[in-house]
């Protein structure tokens, strides 16, 4: 009984904090069902220059699906961007899978001269923010004549160092004994990689994939810098285009944008937890 009470005391602030953290999500969720005039009423002081202070009710006064319908039925632009985003994100994920997994395996499992230097370079590159890399990337892409194409966004992300680094840690965690056993059984390098490395490093791969997807789904700077043609823009650039007059549509768009990421997260949640747990166990 006393234990329960203590637990309750511990939970209360946690629930409170969770509620605070969840509030923006609630904010977005209720906004979807508000009418345009209601949104203007609430957000006017912030966005439209009206007097007073912005406030936000927990439930809309006049719930409606108008914004959602409008977005879905009358905005082909939204879908263009949605599919663009999906295309970019999936391509990046695929690329990272194709190029990052072997790279991480190689770095984790092979000894070669200068390996430490390469690792150091990877870490340094990972630490560098996009703003630092933007110009060199731009120059390179320009030289390759890749500017204003999706490749300009996809290719740099494909060869990003972050997923390699995460996977490297996972591959490092595979016991050498298992690999040796496989070799003894006559497995070659490829077989060891495919049959032992990937299944055992799946948690890391999925983790990096989820993180990579979330990053690429939300990335703004790269498309903004490298894409000029509006028809190539991802969904992340749709929201900045929306003002107070289309606030309802903005909320609807934000809601729809959240759905794939949420679904993906939920799908990969198990692997993510496993990966984190594995990483923790290892040490």
Q: Which residues bind another protein (CB under 8 A)?
A: 72-83, 86, 229-231, 233, 238, 256, 259-260, 263-264, 266-267, 270
* Exposure of 56 in the CB half-sphere (CA atoms within 13 A): 14
Helix pair 36-43, 247-282: axis angle to 10 deg: 70
User: Which residue, 156 or 248, is less far from another protein as judged by CB?
Assistant: 248
User: Which residue, 230 or 282, is less far from another protein as judged by CB?
Assistant: 230
Question: What's the start-to-end Cα distance of the chain, in Å?
Answer: 37
CA–CA dist 45, 185 (Å, integer)? 71
CA angle 269, 272, 274 (to 5 degrees): 110
46 Cα distance to chain centroid: 28
Nearest distance, CB of residue 258 and another protein, angstroms: 11
Q: What phi and psi values does residue 7 have, to the nearest 5 degrees? A: -60, -40
Nearest distance, CB of residue 259 and another protein, angstroms: 6
* Exposure of 150 in the CB half-sphere (CA atoms within 13 A): 16
User: Which residue, 11 or 79, is less far from another protein as judged by CB?
Assistant: 79
For residue 23, the tally of other CB atoms under 10 A from its CB is: 12
Nearest distance, CB of residue 265 and another protein, angstroms: 10
Nearest distance, CB of residue 275 and another protein, angstroms: 16
Residue 106's nearest CA partner among 171, 196, 156, 163 is: 171
Nearest distance, CB of residue 76 and another protein, angstroms: 4
Nearest distance, CB of residue 1 and another protein, angstroms: 33
For residue 180, the tally of other CB atoms under 10 A from its CB is: 11
CA–CA dist 161, 157 (Å, integer)? 9
User: Which residue, 41 or 70, is less far from another protein as judged by CB?
Assistant: 70
User: Which residue, 262 or 277, is less far from another protein as judged by CB?
Assistant: 262
User: Which residue, 133 or 264, is less far from another protein as judged by CB?
Assistant: 264
Nearest distance, CB of residue 77 and another protein, angstroms: 4
For residue 1, the tally of other CB atoms under 10 A from its CB is: 5
User: Which residue, 46 or 262, is less far from another protein as judged by CB?
Assistant: 262
User: Which residue, 160 or 222, is less far from another protein as judged by CB?
Assistant: 222
Nearest distance, CB of residue 129 and another protein, angstroms: 28
The C-alpha R_g of the chain, in whole angstroms, comes to 23
Is there a contact between 22 and 236 (Cβ–Cβ < 8 Å)? Answer: no
């Amino acid at each position: 009984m006393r234990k329960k009470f203590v637990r309750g005391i511990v939970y209360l602030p946690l629930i409170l904090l969770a509620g605070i953290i969840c509030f923006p999500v609630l904010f977005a969720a209720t906004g979807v069902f508000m009418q345009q005039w209601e949104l203007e009423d609430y957000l006017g002081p912030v966005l439209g220059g009206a007097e007073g202070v912005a406030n936000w009710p927990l439930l809309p006064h006049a719930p409606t699906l108008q914004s959602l319908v409008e977005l879905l039925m009358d905005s082909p632009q939204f879908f263009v961007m949605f599919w663009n985003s999906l295309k970019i994100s999936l391509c990046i994920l695929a690329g990272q899978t194709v190029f990052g997994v072997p790279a991480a395996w190689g770095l984790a499992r092979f000894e070669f001269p200068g390996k430490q230097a390469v690792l150091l370079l990877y870490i340094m590159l990972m630490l560098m923010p996009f703003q630092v890399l933007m110009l060199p990337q731009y120059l390179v892409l320009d030289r390759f004549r890749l500017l204003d194409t999706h490749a300009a966004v996809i290719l740099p992300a494909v060869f990003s160092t972050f997923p390699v680094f995460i996977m490297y840690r996972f591959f490092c965690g595979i016991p050498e004994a298992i690999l040796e056993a496989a070799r003894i059984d006559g497995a070659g390098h490829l077989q060891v990689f495919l049959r032992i490395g990937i299944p055992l490093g799946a948690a890391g791969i999925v983790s990096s994939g989820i993180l990579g997807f979330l990053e690429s789904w939300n990335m703004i700077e790269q498309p903004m810098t490298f894409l000029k043609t509006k028809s190539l823009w991802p969904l992340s650039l749709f929201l900045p285009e929306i003002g107070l007059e289309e606030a309802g549509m903005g909320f609807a768009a934000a809601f729809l944008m959240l759905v794939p990421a949420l679904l993906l997260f939920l799908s990969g949640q198990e692997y993510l937890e496993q990966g984190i747990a594995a990483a923790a166990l290892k040490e």
